[in-house]
Structures are given as C-alpha cells and as structure tokens.
Amino acid sequence: MPEKPRKLPRSAGSALKSSGLQLGQAVEWPDRPDQAKLDRVPNPQSDTDYVVRFTAPEFTSLCPVTGQPDFAHLVIDYVPGRWLLESKSLKLFVASFRNHGAFHEDCTVMIGKRIATEIKPKFLRIGGYWYPRGGIPIDVFWQTGRLPKGMWVPEQGVAPYRGRG
C-alpha cells in the first residue's frame, strides 16, 4: 500500500502563507513578465549537486511586429545552490508572456536571466525550441555558470525541427 504523502506541520503551512510566496495562495495571473514574481525556496539538499529540469511544452508569446502568436517548447536545466525555483511561480511567470510581444531570442534569454538572478544557481541552461512561422524555426540556447564536475545533464530531448529530407 502506498505511503500517504507527508503533510507540512501546521506551523510550516502558516510560515509558508506568511512568507510572501505565491505557493498555497490564490494569486492573480500576471499580465506581463515584469509584473510576474518568481519565488525561491531554500534548497534542503544544498550540500549535494543535482540537476533540476522544468519543461514548458506550450510556451506562447506574441510577435512584436505582427502580434501573431509564437509557440515554443522550453527546457530549463539548473544545478541549484542555496535556492530552488518554486514551480507555481515559474508557471505564472511563463504564462505572463502570452500577451507579451518580443522576439524569440529575447523571450528565451529574458527567462534564463530572470531565473538566474532570482535563484543564483551554480549552472543554468535554457533551450527555447520555437515552432516555425514563415517557414523558419528558431532555436535559442542560453546558459550561465559552469556545470559542476561529475554532473550529468541529459539531452533536452527536443528534436531539432526537420522538414522533408
């Protein structure tokens, strides 16, 4: 029989709610990336190097020229230091791009830099695999920090765009 999930002690739940985190709170969806708040939480395994991966396969933004939607599959890998990126805040941040007009390169690098600024990881890389518009796919990659020695980071698992041939 599966073990029941651990519940946070009441004091921890209260501390979370008073901590200013969006986790466990009803929050408004941010309209723009600059309105979105990224939350961080202490890394309980900060003495151990490991890789965390977030995948956003349905990322959407707007072309800044035409206003038409652009779609991407984002993969974010990082080796945390003292902080972890809280996933609900990442979801809200990513969703805030839906009405934001920016080029593919700007969106991808902006997301990577914002996360790096907030959590100060030992290593972070983001791959933005943009779906073709106008017949040309654009893939954008950005990273910061050095991968700690001995760490294994799997391939991002997104095949490069390939037409006929």
The 3-class SS string of the chain reads CCCCCCCCCHHHHHHHHHCCCCCCCCCCCCCCHHHCCCCEEECCCCCCCCCEEEEEEEEEEECCCCCCEEEEEEEEEEECCCEEECHHHHHHHHHCCCCCECCHHHHHHHHHHHHHHHHCCCEEEEEEEEEEECCEEEEEEEEEECCCCCCCCCCCCCCCCCCCC
Asked if 79 contacts 37 with a C-beta cutoff of 8 angstroms, the reply is: no
Catalytic residue IDs: 63, 70
